[in-house]
Amino acid sequence: MTKLLSALLLAAALVPAQAATLQPAKSDLSFTFKQMGVPVDGKFTKFDAQLDFDPKKPEAGKIAFTVDLGSVSLGDASFDAEVVKAPWFDTKRNGKATFVSSGIKPTGAGKYDVAGKLTIKGAVRDIVVPIMLANGVASGAVPIKRLDFKIGDGEWADTSVVANDVTVKFKLSFAGI
């Protein structure tokens, strides 16, 4: 009996952490930038994340995140129609943005730096995303430069009208963490 119990405990310890399931209705993905010096807020309504994470072994974790760029909303139908066009997100050719982690480093209680590759409009950049994880919710904010990803090409590359700095904010609720 003790051999059986020992074998079961060993098998349980060797099973990898369960992948967590994103709860979209409890999650948010938004961004802020400045246009002519005035902050403008936007959000994405369709996104998905895959998380395989064990808080006891964060370095072994993996995160993949996909955003449907066509789900962007700036709160005004005319702006929403413009931002999906070629100079901006070009959703006909580049409908998705992705982030795939390459490493997770603990930085404090419930805090992690997640390194990975962000791809938007075919441009790929290495970024580090600081994340706070508490009660199944991963939250944080990361600054990006829109021109690094060709967002606002051509006449819109002038940063005096639309600033280059964009802050992406997220609150992702997961079941199973």
User: What type of residue is 168?
Assistant: V
- Residue range 137-161, pLDDT digits in tens: 999 999 999 999 999 989 999 999 9
Averaged over 108-135, what is the pLDDT? 97
Residue 5 has pLDDT above 60, yes or no: no
Residue 11 has pLDDT above 80, yes or no: no
CATH superfamily of the domain spanning 21-175? Lipid/polyisoprenoid-binding, YceI-like (2.40.128.110)
The H or E element that residue 3 is part of is: helix 2-14
Residue ranges per structural domain of the chain: 21-175
Nearest CA-CA partner of 152 in 30, 28, 34, 29: 34
How far is Cα 6 from Cα 14, in angstroms, rounded to an integer?
A: 12
User: What type of residue is 175?
Assistant: A
Residue 19: the pLDDT is 82
> Would you say 95 and 68 are in contact if contact means Cβ atoms under 8 Å apart?
yes
Top pLDDT among 4 and 118 is at: 118
- Residue range 45-71, pLDDT digits in tens: 999 999 999 989 999 999 999 999 999
| pLDDT, mean over the chain | 90
How far is Cα 116 from Cα 127, in angstroms, rounded to an integer?
A: 6
Q: pLDDT band for 14, please (50, 70, 90 cuts).
A: very low
Q: Is 76 helix (H, G, I), strand (E, B) or coil?
A: coil
- Residue range 68-85, pLDDT digits in tens: 999 999 999 999 999 999
**Positive or negative, the Cα torsion across 88, 65, 58, 169?**
positive
**Beta-ladder partners of 118:** 99, 125
Please work out, in degrees rounded to the nearest 5, the angle formed at the alpha carbon of residue 60 by the alpha carbons of 56 and 65.
110
